[in-house]
Amino acid sequence: MAARLTLSDVNLRFGGVTVLSDVGFDVEPGEVLGLVGPNGAGKTSLFNCISGHYRPTSGSIRIDGDEVAGSAPSKLNRRGLARTFQHPALQLNHTVLENVMLGAHTRLPGGPVTWALRMPPTGRREREVRDEAMALLEGQGLGWAAASRADELSHGLHKAVELCRARMSHPSLLLLDEPAAGLSHGEVEQLMETVRHVTKNGELTVVVVEHNMGVISALTDRVVVLNHGSKLMEGTAAEAQADPRVIEAYLGTEAADDAA
């Protein structure tokens, strides 16, 4: 079941530096929302607040009405939130298949002792998880890489593996942090096809940070534009690209005047 994400008056300060100022918006269940803005706008900092890596100075972050601001990432993962990163955080000395299987850790029964002793229920569950991870890799066109060590793959393939790992947790809310950065044209097309596939039935809510406006235009229902840590506007990708305030934020006042 897709989750509803609600942010209200989110502020983040480090010492005397204000990183986020009164940011608020709603993401409806099953919606794909783009979070865009120039470098330094606060996009990744906001993602870090939503995913529990930063604790907001003030404000509210709710998933399906439940307050989650300041919750640990592990608790949020069990709550249905999954995230990818600008720089994929894979276990490079493990195989691709093992990396994807790690995404199911919150769904596995028993504790560390149960798994260390390889008791029969864990063996059956591990086989199920392995089969599911393999199916995700094959669906992503990466079945051939399952037995390879992660450090043998390119940066672009690391991102695809990380997306598979995020999907293994069966999330209701997925945060994608610059998923197209560093990808080839073909890899970007595969990425967009995958995101369309996982969101086509409205069973997953997605928030994506991305500089590639072609990707944003192709994937999102709405966008929220940040600038200097504040919300500048929200609307469709086409509306954002035509908004003089957005053009000014990206390109400067002169460009905005030319576009007006």
Taking residues 218-236, report their average pLDDT.
95
DSSP three-state, residue 222: strand
- Is the pLDDT at 170 greater than 70? The verdict is yes
Q: Please tell me the distance from the alpha carbon of residue 24 to that of residue 162, in angstroms, as a whole number.
A: 28
Mean per-residue pLDDT of the chain: 87
Cβ count within 10 A of residue 13: 14
Taking residues 182-201, report their average pLDDT.
82
If one compares 176 and 89, the residue with the highest pLDDT of the two is 176
- What is the pLDDT, as a whole number, of residue 118? 55
Find the farthest-apart pair of alpha carbons in the chain and give their distance in angstroms, rounded: 69
- What is the pLDDT, as a whole number, of residue 233? 95
- What is the pLDDT, as a whole number, of residue 122? 64
- What is the pLDDT, as a whole number, of residue 109? 61
- Is the pLDDT at 251 greater than 60? The verdict is yes
Taking residues 16-23, report their average pLDDT.
95
Over residues 48-82, the pLDDT tens digits come to 999 999 999 999 999 999 999 999 998 999 899 99
Tell me the pLDDT band of 29, cut-offs 50, 70 and 90. very high
pTM for the model: 0.87
- What is the pLDDT, as a whole number, of residue 13? 96
Residue 137: exposure state from Cβ atoms within 10 A (0-12, 13-18, ≥19)? buried
If one compares 251 and 181, the residue with the highest pLDDT of the two is 181
Q: Return the CATH number of the domain spanning residue range 1-80+171-260.
A: 3.40.50.300
Annotated domain spans of the chain: 1-80+171-260, 91-170
Least confident of 19-28, 56-65, 85-94: 85-94
- What is the pLDDT, as a whole number, of residue 108? 65
- What is the pLDDT, as a whole number, of residue 228? 94
- What is the pLDDT, as a whole number, of residue 104? 86
- What is the pLDDT, as a whole number, of residue 253? 47
Helix (H) or strand (E) holding 234, with range, is strand 230-235
- Is the pLDDT at 117 greater than 60? The verdict is no
- What is the pLDDT, as a whole number, of residue 127? 85
- What is the pLDDT, as a whole number, of residue 201? 77
Helix (H) or strand (E) holding 122, with range, is helix 120-139
Q: Please tell me the distance from the alpha carbon of residue 37 to that of residue 18, in angstroms, as a whole number.
A: 17
